[in-house]
């Protein structure tokens, strides 16, 4: 069946580096689907560099909620809706949660432009932003969205709106390491946040030490780190508590034996997919939707929440030959499910589905 190509706008108002990178992956996918996409506009935060295509600044805010620049974003929404109407845009895709999305989204609702929202944290992590994220999610899902892209199959609170949900796994990353490897340290990577369970990690390191295992740990990521001194009391722990540059990321994962995720709560995690792209298996608590991204004993290990003795057993007893095999599995699993090719396939399928029903 043939479809008339759609006119689409993709928006990324967030300055979160992970979300910005994911936005760029979507841009590349759209550029490869000219049969489906007749004309595409790219709206982005001023602070995102997007050299491949012409783009329009849709946000000057440096924070997702309550930033002083949002008054500029609000005024900018008047200009942006005129651009959408002038170009006859049929669909707009907001790729990240951001308060400034709502300024333009309300205009789109008035002028009947269909809206797609990607929601990364459908069930928000505990913390000071969780209340606002819940409000945003409810408003978007119940009142604005034509379709909602999520990265988990668990939609507990929104069963009445299940017809709006499309699950597309996190994907679109580049395969960074193409050969299996073993590595020599355990890596905790990503922005330091309370829900990521650093106190659990401290306990794991302590138990390993008591068991006589001093495998090096590297903790890399920016954010408030209250227990830094406790970690540094172990000579096998290195901390990079700052923004980690691309070349450093490559080196960290290249030499990693496992990536560890001792999270208290989770929806999905880009860290898992990023780890696979570097041929690195993971060890994770079985919380949230992380099980949807891990093949037990093949691409890593899922452990019952706070069952740290099991993690000690895995780290101590998994030999290099087994780690090598796990690494090989992660490469195959990544290529099949999370590569740029996978993103292209998944979003092409999604675009066709909304074209059928438009």
pLDDT digits (tens, 9 = 90+) for 334-345: 999 998 888 888
What is the pLDDT at residue 53? 79
User: Is the pLDDT assigned to residue 118 strictly greater than 60?
Assistant: yes
- The percentage of residues in the chain with a pLDDT greater than 70, rounded to a whole number, is 95
User: Where are the domain boundaries for CATH 3.40.50.2000 in the chain?
Assistant: 6-172+340-356, 185-337
Contact indicator for 195, 265 with CB cutoff of 8 Å: yes
Secondary structure, 3-state, 142-203: HHHCCEEEECCCCCHHHHHHHHHEEECCCCCECCCCCCCCCCCEEEEECCCCHHHCHHHHHH
What is the pLDDT at residue 2? 61
Is it true that domain 185-337 has CATH number 3.40.50.2000?
A: yes
CA-CA distances (angstroms) from residue 312 to 66, 209, 210, 264, 335? 43, 10, 10, 18, 30
User: Is the pLDDT assigned to residue 200 strictly greater than 90?
Assistant: yes
Q: Cα(28)–Cα(5) distance, rounded to whole angstroms?
A: 17
Interval 239-286: pLDDT, tens: 999 988 888 999 999 999 999 999 998 777 789 999 999 999 999 999
Confidence of residue 301 (pLDDT cuts 50, 70, 90): very high
What is the pLDDT at residue 29? 72
DSSP state of 72: H
Neighbours of 68 (CB within 10 A): 10
Contact indicator for 338, 169 with CB cutoff of 8 Å: yes
Q: Cα(317)–Cα(325) distance, rounded to whole angstroms?
A: 14
Confidence of residue 232 (pLDDT cuts 50, 70, 90): very high
Which comes out higher in pLDDT, residue 76 or 154?
Answer: 76
Q: Which homologous superfamily does the CATH classification assign to the domain defined by 6-172+340-356?
A: Glycogen Phosphorylase B; (3.40.50.2000)
Parallel, antiparallel or unpaired: strands 37-45 and 56-59: parallel
């Amino acid at each position: 069946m043939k479809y008339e190509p759609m006119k689409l706008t993709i928006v990324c108002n967030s300055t979160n580096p992970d979300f910005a990178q994911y936005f760029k992956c979507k841009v590349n996918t759209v550029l490869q689907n000219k049969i489906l996409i007749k004309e595409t506009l790219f709206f982005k935060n001023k602070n995102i560099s997007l050299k491949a295509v012409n783009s329009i600044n849709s946000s000057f805010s440096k924070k997702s909620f309550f930033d002083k620049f949002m008054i500029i974003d609000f005024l900018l929404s008047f200009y942006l809706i005129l651009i959408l109407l002038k170009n006859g845009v049929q669909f707009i895709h907001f790729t990240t949660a951001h308060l400034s999305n709502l300024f333009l989204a309300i205009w789109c609702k008035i002028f009947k432009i269909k809206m797609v929202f990607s929601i990364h944290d459908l069930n928000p992590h505990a913390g000071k932003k969780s209340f606002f994220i819940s409000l945003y999610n409810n408003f978007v899902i119940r009142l604005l969205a034509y379709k909602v892209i999520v990265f988990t199959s668990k939609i507990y609170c929104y069963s009445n709106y299940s017809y709006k949900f499309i699950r597309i796994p996190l994907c679109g990353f580049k395969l960074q390491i193409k050969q299996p490897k073993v590595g020599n340290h355990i890596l905790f990577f990503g922005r330091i946040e309370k829900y990521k369970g650093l106190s659990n990690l401290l306990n794991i390191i302590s138990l390993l030490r008591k068991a006589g295992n001093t495998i090096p740990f590297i903790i890399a990521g920016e954010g408030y780190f209250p227990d830094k001194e406790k970690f540094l009391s172990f000579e096998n722990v290195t901390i990079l508590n700052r923004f980690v540059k691309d070349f450093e990321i490559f080196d960290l994962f290249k030499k990693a034996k496992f990536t560890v995720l001792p999270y208290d709560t989770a929806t999905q995690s880009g860290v898992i997919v990023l780890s696979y792209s570097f041929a690195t298996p993971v060890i994770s608590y079985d919380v949230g939707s992380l099980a949807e991204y891990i093949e037990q004993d093949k691409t890593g290990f899922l452990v019952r929440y706070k069952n740290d003795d099991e993690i000690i057993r895995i780290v101590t007893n998994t030999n290099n030959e087994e780690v090598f095999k796990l690494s090989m599995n992660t490469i195959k699993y990544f290529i099949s499910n999370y590569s740029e090719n996978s993103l292209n396939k998944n979003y092409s399928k999604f675009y066709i589905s909304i074209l059928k029903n438009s």
